[in-house]
Amino acid sequence: MAYLRPGVFVEEIATQAPVVGTVSTTVAAFLGLSDRGPVVPTLINSWSQFTAQYGSWGTRNSLAEAAYMFFANGGSQAYFQRVTATAGTPATATRSFNDTTAVTPVATLKVDAKNYGTWGNSIYIEITASTISTTYFNLNVYYGGTTQANVVERYNDVTMLTTDNSYVVSAINNVSNYITVTDLVPADSFDATDNPAVVAPASAALASGADGTLPTSTIIVTEVTKFDTISNALVLNVPGITAQSDVDTILNYAYNRGDVFVVIDPTQATATSASQITLSNTYTGGTAGTPALAYGAVYFPNLTIPHPTSTLPGATKLTYPGASVVAKYTTTDASRGVFKTPAGLDARLANVVSVDKLTNTELDNLNNATKAVNAIRYVPGSGIVVMGGRTLKQGYTDRYISTRRTLIYLRKQLSDLTQYAIFEPNNERLWDSLRNTVEATLVSFWQSGGLRGATPGDAFFVKCDSTNNTSITIANGQVIIEVGVALQRPAEFVVIRISQYDSGAVVTIS
C-alpha cells in the first residue's frame, strides 16, 4: 500500500509463522427512519432518552423499533441517525414584544421546533410575565395540547438582554428537547424601560412543519457515511434493509472504515429459510469485494413481540431481529469480551413472544450455506436464543464473528495506542517503546481470555527492531511493527462419543 500521509497504518497479512494458538469501546449504531429527531448521529443512553429526542411511535418507526428492542435486551448506549430523502422544514412561530425604543411591537423572538417534521406542529408556546421585573418573562412549552398536562418544559425568568445570564437563547437552546429560539434583533437589547409582554395572544402554535419525502432504501444506506464523525468502533444495524445493493453498500463502508461490523436483518417476514439463503448468497461486499463479507452477519428469522402500541390483549407484531442481536453483541463485549461469540444459551432475546420453528434440516442448511445465516430459535429451558456465530465469508480467519471482531478490536487498539510515535525519532529507542506498548496490550488481552496459548509467547509475537526496520524503511519515514496473534475460535460443535462399557469390554455403539 502507498503511504501518503503521516499516521499509523495497520495492515492485516497472512503469516506463515508457527503461531499457536480489555474492555471494548465498541458502540451500537442504527440508521433509519423517524418522524422526529436529530439528523446527525446522536448518542442515546436509554429508551426514555430516545423518546425525549425522537418521540416514540409515529408513521416512520424503524429507529423507534430498533431503540425499543435494543434497550429491552440490555443495550446501554447507541448512536441513532435519522434519514429523510429531502430536508423538511421545522414548525415555527414568531412573537412580538412591546419595545419603547421602537414605540410599536417588534417581532423579536423566533421559536422553531428542535428539528424538522410535522411533529413540530403539535408544539405550543406560552409567554407570561415574570415576577422579577418587566424585562424578564416566562416561556412554557406545550406538546400535543394546551392543558397543564401537556406542559413539557418551563423556562422561568428569562430575558432578551444578551448580556444577562438568563438570556433566552442560551437558556433554552442548550437544553430543550422541543424548541430552539432566535433573537431577531439582538442589537436592540431590552433595557429597564422595555416591556417584554407579548402582543395578544400570549400563546401561539408552531406551524408549517414538514417531514420531507420518504427516502428509498438506497438513500438510507448512503447516509451511513455520517457515522464517520464517530471515533468508536461500531456494531451497525440498518433496520429492515435487506436488498443486495443496499447491504453491499453497508458492507463496503464497514470494510473500508475497518472498525465497523454489520448486523444484517433477514428478508420479509414470510420468507422461508431457503429464500433467505438465496438472498444472502447474492451479497458481494460491494466494490470492496469478497473481503468485505467478513464484516457482516445475517440473522434469521424475524421476531414476534408484544405490540408496543396496541391496547388489545395479547396483540403482537413482527419485528426485525437486528437491534436485539446488536444488544447481545454489546452486552457480551461488556461481560466477556469481543472474543466471545454473541450466541449460545446466554444470548437469550428478551421481549420476544415467539419465533418461527426451524427444522434440523433448515438449521443445517442455514449454518452451512455458502454465505452462512445465523439462526434464532427456541431452546427449551433457555428461551429464544441466538444460535449462530458466522460471518458471510468462508475461510479460516473470517468464518467466525468473534475472530473478525477480535481483529477489528486489536487493529483499533494498537492504532490508537501507537499514535504517539508519529514524528518521533525513528531509532532503537522508539522501536523498544512501540514493542513494549504493543506487548503490554496483547498480554492484557491474553490474560482476559482473548488469545489462545498457555503463555504470552504462545499467544502472540511482536517484532519491531533493526531486522524489519532497515535503512530503507527509515528513509521512507516508516516504522514497521509485525504482530502475530493466536485467535480464539468458538466451540461450534460439541461432539460426545459414547461407548458401552461392560465388564472391561468396550462395545462401540454406532
pLDDT in tens, 255-283: 999 999 999 999 987 789 999 999 999 99
d(C-alpha 469, C-alpha 43), whole Å: 42
pLDDT of 219 strictly over 70: yes
How would you classify the pairing of strands 136-143 and 151-159? antiparallel
- Please indicate, yes or no, if residue 425 is contained in any of the structural domains: no
**pTM score, two decimals?**
0.87
From the list 422, 407, 410, the residue with the least C-alpha distance to 8 is: 422
The single-letter code of the amino acid at 202 is: A
Which of these ranges, 197-201, 251-255, 438-442, has the smallest mean pLDDT? Answer: 197-201
CATH of the domain at 334: 3.40.50.11780
Task: Supply the pLDDT for residue 159.
Answer: 86
The tally of CA atoms less than 13 A away on the side-chain side of residue 251 is: 31
Helices 322-335 and 62-72: crossing angle in degrees, nearest 10, is 40
Task: Supply the pLDDT for residue 88.
Answer: 83
The single-letter code of the amino acid at 107 is: A
Number of separate domains in the chain: 2
For the chain, report the end-to-end CA distance as a whole number of angstroms: 55
pLDDT of 17 strictly over 50: no
Same domain, 393 and 284: yes
pLDDT of 390 strictly over 90: yes
Same domain, 80 and 97: no
Average pLDDT of 456-460?
93
Average pLDDT of 434-442?
94
From the list 166, 138, 165, 167, the residue with the least C-alpha distance to 153 is: 138
* Residue pair 127/138 in contact by the 8 Å Cβ criterion: yes
Task: Supply the pLDDT for residue 109.
Answer: 85
pLDDT band at residue 15, thresholds of 50, 70 and 90? very low
- Please indicate, yes or no, if residue 155 is contained in any of the structural domains: yes
Domain housing 146: 92-205
User: What is the tens place of the pLDDT at every residue in 161-172?
Assistant: 888 888 899 999
User: What is the tens place of the pLDDT at every residue in 35-49?
Assistant: 999 989 999 999 999
Given 367, 402, 437, which residue is the final one in a domain? Answer: 402
* Residue pair 299/45 in contact by the 8 Å Cβ criterion: no
**Edge-to-edge, what's the strand order for the sheet holding 203-205?**
151-159, 136-143, 123-129, 203-205
Q: What does the block give as the cell for 314?
A: 395479547
Query: What are the angstrom distances between the C-alpha of 260 and each of 237, 251, 253, 409, 412?
Result: 10, 9, 8, 10, 10
Task: Supply the pLDDT for residue 97.
Answer: 72
- Which has the higher per-residue pLDDT, 508 or 16? 508
Task: Supply the pLDDT for residue 399.
Answer: 93
Given 184, 205, 226, which residue is the final one in a domain? Answer: 205
Residue that the C-alpha cell 500521509 belongs to? 5
Same domain, 237 and 107: no
Task: Supply the pLDDT for residue 193.
Answer: 53
pLDDT band at residue 496, thresholds of 50, 70 and 90? confident
Q: No. of H helices and E strands in the chain?
A: 12, 23
Given 180, 205, 230, which residue is the final one in a domain? Answer: 205
Q: What average pLDDT is seen over the chain?
A: 88
Same domain, 70 and 218: yes
Show the DSSP H helices in 137-225 as ranges. 168-173, 217-222
Same domain, 75 and 128: no
Same domain, 63 and 196: no
User: What is the tens place of the pLDDT at every residue in 64-97?
Assistant: 999 999 999 999 999 999 998 777 899 999 887 7
Task: Supply the pLDDT for residue 213.
Answer: 86
Query: What are the angstrom distances between the C-alpha of 497 and each of 494, 500, 509?
Result: 10, 10, 9
pLDDT of 18 strictly over 50: no
- Which has the higher per-residue pLDDT, 382 or 268? 382
d(C-alpha 49, C-alpha 68), whole Å: 11
Same domain, 77 and 138: no
Average pLDDT of 303-321?
92
Same domain, 79 and 158: no
DSSP sequence for 282-305: T---GGG-GGGGGGEEEEES-EEE
Most confident of 94-108, 131-145, 297-311, 490-504: 297-311
CATH of the domain at 187: 2.60.40.4290
Which of these ranges, 83-87, 169-173, 307-311, 334-338, has the smallest mean pLDDT? Answer: 83-87
d(C-alpha 509, C-alpha 507), whole Å: 6
pLDDT of 24 strictly over 70: no
How would you classify the pairing of strands 27-32 and 234-237? parallel
pLDDT band at residue 104, thresholds of 50, 70 and 90? low
Average pLDDT of 230-250?
96
d(C-alpha 14, C-alpha 20), whole Å: 14
User: What is the tens place of the pLDDT at every residue in 44-63?
Assistant: 999 999 999 998 888 888 99
Task: Supply the pLDDT for residue 20.
Answer: 33
pLDDT of 140 strictly over 50: yes
Phi-psi label, residue 103: left if phi above 0, alpha if psi -120 to 50, beta otherwise? left
Average pLDDT of 147-161?
90
Average pLDDT of 445-449?
93
Task: Supply the pLDDT for residue 507.
Answer: 58
d(C-alpha 369, C-alpha 97), whole Å: 69
CA angle 220, 222, 227 (to 5 degrees): 95
Task: Supply the pLDDT for residue 503.
Answer: 61
Task: Say what percent of the chain tops pLDDT 70.
Answer: 89
Chain centre distance of CA 80: 6
d(C-alpha 354, C-alpha 1), whole Å: 49
Name the β-bridge partners of 235.
28, 261
pLDDT of 16 strictly over 50: no
* Residue pair 13/426 in contact by the 8 Å Cβ criterion: no
Q: Rounding to the nearest 10 degrees, give the CA dihedral for residues 235, 240, 242, 247.
A: -40
pLDDT band at residue 204, thresholds of 50, 70 and 90? confident
Task: Say what percent of the chain tops pLDDT 90.
Answer: 68
pLDDT of 224 strictly over 80: yes
Same domain, 360 and 248: yes
From the list 372, 369, 377, the residue with the least C-alpha distance to 343 is: 377
Name the β-bridge partners of 483.
462
Same domain, 198 and 295: no
Same domain, 321 and 384: yes
Show the DSSP H helices in 227-352 as ranges. 244-257, 273-280, 322-335
Q: What does the block give as the cell for 257?
A: 472504515
pLDDT of 300 strictly over 60: yes
d(C-alpha 373, C-alpha 388), whole Å: 8
pLDDT band at residue 460, thresholds of 50, 70 and 90? very high
